[in-house]
Structure 1
Amino acid sequence: MKSEELIIDVSTLSHWLQEKRPVTVLDVRPIEQREEWAIAGSVHADIYDKLKSGDQHVFDDVQLRHDQPVVTVCAAGKTSLIAAELLRQKGYRVYSLKGGMKEWNFAFDTAEVILGKVKIIQVRRSSKGVLSYIIGSDDEALVIDAALDPQVYMDLAKANKWTIKYVTDTHIHADYLSRTRELAQTSNAKHLLINTAGVSYPFTPINDGDRLKVGDAIIEIIYSPGHTAESTSFKLGEDALFTGDTLFTDGVGRPDLKANTDEVITRAKLLYHSIHKLLSLNPDTLVLPAHLASTIPLDGKLIAGSIKDLKNKLQMLTFAEDEFVDYTQSRIPPTPPNYLTIATLNKQGSYEGYNPADLEAGANRCAIA
C-alpha cells in the first residue's frame, strides 16, 4: 500500500466525528504532549519512543477494535504514519492524520441558538477550546473573536444571507492569532475595538455603554477589564452576553499575562469587579465565552450557561474580593506557548512571515478553574 493511501486529512476526520461515525483515534505522542492538548475522545498508547526506535512489535500488547477504522495521530503526521503502517500489517483499516495535531489545530464545528429574531452561530475550534461568534439579524451580522480563516465566516454569513457589518475582538488574544483584521479587509466590515485598545493599526473605537445596531438586534458594549486592560463584553438585549476571556462557563480569565506581581493583583481586582458587574445582569442571560478550558468535542452542542447557573456552578464567583484575588493567584496555569509573540503580532494586526500552525500549537491556557 502506498503511504498516501494511509493518510486522512483534518476535514475528513472532522466530518467523521461530527457524523458520529465509529472510529478509534489513536494518539501515539509522548504522554507529556498529550497532556497539553488532544483530540476529544481519542485514546492514547505510550509507544512513541518504541516507534521512533523501529520496534516492529510495538503493537503486540495494544488492543484495538477491528470492526472500525483507526486514525493514528502524532504532532506533525510522521510518526503516526509509521504506526499506521504497522497496524495495517496486523489487519486493521488504518489512516494517519495528515499534519498531525498542528493541522488539527484548525478543526472546527458550529453550534447555533436562536433568540427571538437573532441567530447566533458559535464557531468552535476543537483542539484549542476557542469560541468565536456570528450574530445575525435580518440581513446583517457581527463577528466576535474571529479565530479561523476569514472564508469560514464569509461562508457562514453567505449561507444565512447576511452581510458582515461589524467585526471585533473582545481583547488582544495571547494564545491564538486573531483573524479579525483579515476578516475586516475581506468583508469590508467596520473593525471595532474598545477605545483603549493598544494596537498599531486603524480601527473604529467603541466606548463603554455604546450600542450597536445589527439588523433588528441591539448590542451594548460593556467594558470589563481584568484578563487584559482592554477586555470588553457585548450584551445582546436581555438574552445573551459575549464575555470573551472575562467569564467562562468553567472558570474565569487569568489576570497575569504580561504583568508583574503588583500588576497581577491590580488586574485580579479589576477582574473581580468586571465579573460582578456582569453577574448583576438578568440572571437568565446566556453567557457565551471565548474559550472552554478543555478541548471541545465535535458534537455541535452549544457551550453556554445562564448567569444564574454559573453562580451556582462556580464557587469562585461567591468569593469576596480578597479571597478571589488570592484564589486566582494560586491557580494560575502555565503560560500559553508563544504568547508574547502571538500577542505582539495581534497588536500589529499581521502575522506575515509566521506559520500559524507552529505558533498556535499547544493547549489553551487562558482559564482559571
Structure 2
Amino acid sequence: MKATKITADELKEKFEKKSNVIVLDVRPQQQRDDWQISGSIYKDIYDRLQQGDSTVFDDMDLPKEATIVTVCAAGRSSQLAADILADKGYYAQSLEGGMKAWNYAWNTAEASDDTLTIIQVRRVAKGCLSYIIGSGKSAMVIDASLDPEVYFSLASTRDWNIIYVSDTHIHADYISRSIELVKVTGATHLFTENADVDYPFVPLADGQQLRLGDAYIKAIHTPGHTPESISYLIDESYLLTGDTLFVDGVGRPDLKADAVQTRRKAQQLFVSLSKIKGLPNDPLILPAHTSHAIDFDNVIIGNKLSGLVHQIELLNIQEQQFVASIVERIPQTPANYLQISAINKAGQHDGIDPADLEAGANRCAIA
C-alpha cells in the first residue's frame, strides 16, 4: 500500500494542536545525532530499507490509533518506511522533503512585562533563535533566520511597525534574512560600528541607547565569538546575547581563526562575559541558538544570569584557565561555515538555496 505524504507545515500544525502523532526517524545514526525532530523515536533500519527488507518493523509495536510520520533526510527512505507501515495497517505518512524541509519549521514563545513583549521565534530543528521586541506601536527584529513574511506577520498581528532590524554578529551556520526584512519593511538596519560587512548599515557604538516605543535598548559590544558580536540589553531586564552566552555554554572563538587568533579571541570572550556578569538586575539571558531540537511547548529558551553563572563552569574560572578550557573543548567545525559567513558578510545570496547550506547540526557553543 502506498502511504501518503505530509508537508512540514502540516506536521507543524499537528504538533501545535497536540495531535496524536508519532515521528519515526529512519536515517543513519550519525545524521540523527546531528539534528532531529524533538520527541521523535528512532529505528536504525536505513540500510535494510535500501535493500528492500519489508520485515524492518516486524519487531515494533506502535499504537494503531496514532498517525505515524516517518522522516529521513530528503523524503525517499521515509516513503519506503511509511509504505511498509501502511501495509501493516498503520496510518503512516512520509514527511515530504525530509529534514531538509523541516529545517524551516518554527514556533514561538514569549516573555513580557508592562512595557514590552519579546517574541522568541525558533527554528525547531536547527535551534536558531530570533527575536521580535515590541513596545507601543514599534518593533525591532534581531537575528532574522526565516522568511521575512514570518516576522512581518507576527508583528502585524500585534499592530507593531518594524522600525529596526539587526544581527548580533555575522552568522556562520545560517544565512541571515535581515537585509531581506529591511527591504520588505523599510526598517533601519543597525549593526556594530566597524563591522566588516559589504552592505550599508547604521553603526551602533558600545553603550549606545535606542528608544523603542516605551522601552530602551542598549547596545553592548561583546566580541570573542566574532569581532563584531553585540548584545542588546532591553530595559535592564533582558539581554539578547547572540552567540556570546548560551543557556548551557559560551560561544566558540575558533571559527576563521588560527591557534594564536583563537586564544586571543578567547581572551576577548572572557572580557565580554565578565562585562555581562557585571550587569545589575539579573537580566533574563536570551541567546541566538540552542543546541537541541525545540519542543512545541511555548516555553521560552532562556535563563536568569544568576542561574547561568551557577550552572556554567566556564563562567566561574579565571582568565588563564578559561582560555585553556575553551581551547581544549572546541567542538567539530560546522559544515559550510566559511561559505555561509562569506554570504552574510556580502549581504546577498542570489542564486543560492539556503537549505542546501544550512541543513545539519548547530555547533556554536562550548559547554
Please state which band the TM-score falls in when normalised by the shorter chain: over 0.9
Q: Indicate the SS of the match to 2:320.
A: helix
Q: Contact 1:194–1:207 at 8 Å: present in 2 too?
A: yes
Cα distance between partner residues in 2 of 1:262 and 1:284: 34
Equivalence for 2:208: 210
Structure 2 residue matching 1:67: 3-state secondary structure: coil
Asked if the contact 2:2–2:83 (Cα under 8 Å) also holds between the matched residues in 1, the reply is no
Residue 277 of structure 2, aligned match among 276, 279, 304: 279
Give, in angstroms, the shift of residue 20 of structure 1.
2.2
Q: 2: CA distance between counterparts of 1:238 and 1:36?
A: 36
Contact 1:75 1:100 in 2 (8 A): yes
Please tell me whether the aligned partners of residues 221 and 232 of structure 1 are also in contact (alpha carbons under 8 angstroms). Answer: yes
Counterpart in 1 of 2:55?
A: 57
Q: 1:9: Cα distance to partner? A: 0.7
Aligned-residue offset at 1:218 = 0.8
Deviation string, structure 1 residues 37-92 (Cα, Å, up to 9, x no partner): 11011011100011111112121122322221100000001110111011000000
Q: Which amino acid aligns with 1:232?
A: I
Counterpart in the other structure of 2:106: 108
Equivalent-residue separation in structure 2 for 1:171 and 1:225 (angstroms):
9
Match of 1:157 in 2: 155
Residue deviations 1:255-300 (CA, integer Å, cap 9, x gap): 1000000000000010011011011112521111101121211211
Aligned to 1:317: 315
Match of 1:192 among 190, 199, 211: 190
Using the alignment, how far apart are the partners of 1:202 and 1:64 within structure 2? 55
* 1:94 shift after superposition: 0.6
Deviation at 1:169, TM superposition (A): 0.2
State the Cα distance separating 1:16 from its structure 2 match. Answer: 1.4
By how many angstroms is 1:340 displaced?
0.6
- What corresponds to 1:265 in structure 2? 263
| CA distance in structure 2 between the partners assigned to 1:278 and 1:115 by the alignment | 22
Question: TM-score, with normalisation over the residues of structure 1?
Answer: 0.98
TM-score for the superposition, normalised by structure 2: 0.98
Aligned to 1:30: 28
Unaligned 5+ segments in structure 2 are: none
CA distance in 2, matches of 1:283, 1:215: 21
Moved more, 53-62 or 193-202: 53-62
How far apart are the structure 2 equivalents of 1:159 and 1:239? 25
For residues 125 and 350 of structure 2, the distance between their equivalents in structure 1, rounded to whole angstroms, comes to 23
Partners of 1:232 and 1:116 in 2: CA distance: 26
Q: For residue 289 of structure 1, what is the aligned residue in structure 2?
A: 287
CA displacement at 1:250 relative to structure 2: 0.9
Aligned counterparts of 1:18 and 1:280: Cα–Cα separation in 2: 39
Structure-1 separation of matches of 2:309 and 2:54? 54
> Out of 1, 11, 14, which is 1:13 matched to?
11
* SS of match in other structure, 1:353: coil
**Quick check: 1:368 aligned with 2:366?**
yes
Hey, what's the Cα distance between the residues in 2 that align with 1:303 and 1:253? 16
Which residue, 256, 272, 296 being the options, matches 1:298? Answer: 296
Distance 1:324 1:97 in 2: 44
SS of match in other structure, 2:362: coil
Among 81, 103, 107, the alignment partner of 1:83 is 81
Q: Distance in 2 between matches of 1:313 and 1:65?
A: 39
Q: Give the equivalent residue in structure 2 for 1:223.
A: 221
Q: Residue 34 of structure 1: SS of its match in structure 2?
A: helix
Counterpart of 1:341, as a letter, is Q
Match of 1:180 among 164, 167, 178: 178
Moved more, 309-318 or 133-142: 309-318
Whether the 8 Å CA contact 1:282–1:307 is kept in 2: the answer is no
C-alpha contact 2:236 2:281 (8 A) present in aligned 1: no
Q: How many angstroms apart in 2 are the aligned matches of 1:311 and 1:19?
A: 36
Q: Do the aligned residues in 2 keep the contact of 1:145 with 1:290 (CA within 8 Å)? A: yes
Q: Secondary structure in 1 aligned to 2:104?
A: coil
How far, CA to CA, are the matches of 2:274 and 2:292 in structure 1?
24
- Partner SS, residue 69 of structure 2: strand
Give 1:97's aligned residue. Answer: 95
Judge conservation of contact 1:283–1:308 (CA < 8 Å) in 2.
no
Aligned residues: 367
Could you tell me how far apart the structure 2 residues matched to 1:318 and 1:121 are?
30
In the other structure, the counterpart of 1:247 is: 245
> What is the alpha-carbon distance in structure 2 between the residues aligned to residue 333 and residue 283 of structure 1?
33
Partner of 2:230: 232
State the distance in 1 between where 2:293 and 2:51 align.
Answer: 31
Letter in 2 for 1:93: Y
Whole-angstrom distance in 2 between the partners of 1:302 and 1:261? 36
Matched-pair contact (CA < 8 Å) for 1:115–1:239: no
Contact 1:168 1:193 in 2 (8 A): yes
SS of structure 2 residue aligned to 1:152: helix
